[in-house]
Amino acid sequence: MGMRMAWPICMAYFPVGMAFGVLAQKAGLGVLQTGAMSVVVFAGSAQFIGVSMLSQGASLTAIAATTFIVNLRHLLMSSALAPHLRRASVPFLLLFAYGVTDESFAVNSMRFRDGGWDRWKAIIVNHTANLAWVISSLAGAVSGQFIPPGFLGIDYAMAGMFLGLLVLQLRGRIYVYTAILSGISALGFSLVLPGNAYVIIASLVAATGGLALSRLGARRDSRHV
């Protein structure tokens, strides 16, 4: 069941991972270095940024700091999944946390909400996607000398994948309103804030707004009872 739910993520990861592998090869990384980065970091956006900064001669300190800021959203995702993992051991949690990505979070949170899902199926989703990412990035690194970076719109794959995951989450008006608020907030804050801090702020604003709308709807329903 876990592998079946991970399959759409894997299909989306292959073009994105290959795109990363191509860019890493163009930036001067070898196949083993590219694979090691995918294993150790396992964060698409951070890896793309890291490769770009490496090609521009940025220091390791600057790359590490940028990666930390970009991945701060994982605090929010982990907090949302934590109630479903209360009985898990520390080794399990460490292994699970390593595999949390935007895509696996979207699938697992949706399945936990629907019921009939457990932590073992969830961790299979995480690490099946992990394996697909590593394999695809290695394939991109090997074939990078033959594939131009923009081949067949490969650079759009990540944006398309996120849009597909968003649609799966829209199960009512509150979800739609929250998504719209998140998009507007992210766009607005991106115009005034440097770096990627706007992602975290927009997430907090949207989550707070969604909670407020949910409570307002609950109050209205209670008045009609």
Contact of 123 with 96, CB cutoff 8 Å: yes
Per-residue pLDDT of the chain (225 residues), as tens digits, is: 668 888 888 888 888 888 888 888 888 888 999 999 999 888 877 888 788 778 777 777 777 877 787 777 788 888 889 999 988 999 999 999 999 988 899 899 988 988 888 999 999 999 999 999 999 999 989 987 776 655 656 556 556 656 765 776 676 788 788 888 888 988 898 888 876 667 778 878 887 888 888 888 767 766 655
pLDDT at 155: 56
Contact 19, 137 (CB under 8 A): no
- The pLDDT score that the predictor gives to residue 170 is 73
What's residue 57's pLDDT? 77
Q: Domain ranges in the chain? A: 2-158, 170-225
What is the pLDDT, as a whole number, of residue 156? Answer: 61
* Neighbour tally for 41: CB within 10 Å: 13
Which residue from 13, 26, 18 is spatially nearest to 52, judged by alpha carbons?
26
Query: What whole-number distance in Å separates Cα of residue 91 and Cα of residue 97?
Result: 10
DSSP string, the chain: -HHHHHHHHHHHHHHHHHHHHHHHHHTT--HHHHHHHHHHT--HHHHHHHHHHHHTT--HHHHHHHHHHHTTHHHHHHHHHGGGGTT--HHHHHHHHHT--HHHHHHHHHHHHHSS--HHHHHHHHHHHHHHHHHHHHHHHHHTTTS-TTGGGGGGHHHHHHHHHHHHH--SHHHHHHHHHHHHHHHHHHTTS-TTHHHHHHHHHHHHHHHHHHHHHHHHHHHT-
Euclidean distance between the first and the last CA atom of the chain, given in angstroms as a whole number = 40
- Closest CA relative to residue 126, chosen from 78, 66, 161: 78
pLDDT score of 211: 80
